[in-house]
Structure 1
């Protein structure tokens, strides 16, 4: 049996995005449904890349494909709470990046959930891995832990 994951503190993340929960995010059990957490992960990563000017999702030659995801849940989030999505980079490879995300409710030092996903960056047309473009590598280097 694997060891129980330990939550990472808020100050272990380099970039944050405030994401409001929506009424439709809640499920019949009164909390945000587990699949929505992955949407929050995707949102904070792509907001960072677009904001840094290194992702042109409509015309860019290099795109990221998710090849691995994982999430651990520690406490519930529910509408109308706001989520502070923290982002860091655990591994910056030649063509891949392991993003780690912590989802915090306002003012909490410990995450309600944390996880990761791995992007492999590929050529838009061939879908073959490519080296990370230098501007993207530089922008992501600022988040490496």
Structure 2
């Protein structure tokens, strides 16, 4: 996906503690960066996580996370982390993320896909996304998320 297609972007500077003996960001830290992007996405669409999701009788749980590494980030790089809701299923959400070195938006350092499931916060069983939350995601995105047919996962 092109950098310009992402509405949601955050900046994060790589800190010394995130760099490994090879002088690059340790691979596990990219997942933390992805999580920060998703947390800020909720805030950007008008939801405080977890309070507002719980108020809608919802919570999210990670189901699957895939990261493809293309090039390393290094200490003191400023990263532009771009994310979007790429698919909203009945109870699932696919969130696409790409990270770029600031000013070098032609080549992503990593691409990631996070799959989350909406669930009842008490029973932890999957349930459909509330219409209000679906609508907030739809309105926020530059490119409309794909949506599953009613009853599909």
Partners of 1:9 and 1:111 within 8 A in 2: no
Residues in 1 aligned to 2:10 and 2:114: alpha-carbon distance in whole angstroms: 17
Unaligned 5+ runs, structure 1: 1-7
* Helix, strand or coil at the partner of 2:60: strand
Residues in 1 aligned to 2:7 and 2:49: alpha-carbon distance in whole angstroms: 22
Residues in 1 aligned to 2:63 and 2:99: alpha-carbon distance in whole angstroms: 21
TM-superposed CA distance for 1:135, in Å, is 2.6
1:66 aligns with 2:59: no
TM-superposed CA distance for 1:17, in Å, is 0.7
TM-superposed CA distance for 1:100, in Å, is 0.4
In structure 2, the partner of 1:5 is none
Unaligned 5+ runs, structure 2: 146-153
TM-superposed CA distance for 1:55, in Å, is 3.9
In structure 1, the partner of 2:148 is none
Residues in 1 aligned to 2:5 and 2:118: alpha-carbon distance in whole angstroms: 25
Among 92, 106, 111, the alignment partner of 2:102 is: 106
TM-superposed CA distance for 1:57, in Å, is 1.2
Q: CA offsets per residue over residues 2-22 of structure 1, 9 Å max, x none?
A: xxxxxx431232210111211
Cα RMSD after superposing both structures:
1.6
Where does structure 1 differ by over 4 angstroms across 4 or more consecutive aligned residues?
A: none
**TM-score, normalising length: structure 1:** 0.87
**TM-score, normalising length: structure 2:** 0.83
Residues in 1 aligned to 2:49 and 2:102: alpha-carbon distance in whole angstroms: 31
Among 126, 129, 134, the alignment partner of 1:129 is: 126
In structure 2, the partner of 1:9 is 2
Partners of 2:6 and 2:83 within 8 A in 1: yes
Residues in 1 aligned to 2:115 and 2:26: alpha-carbon distance in whole angstroms: 22
- How many residue pairs are counted as aligned between the two chains? 138
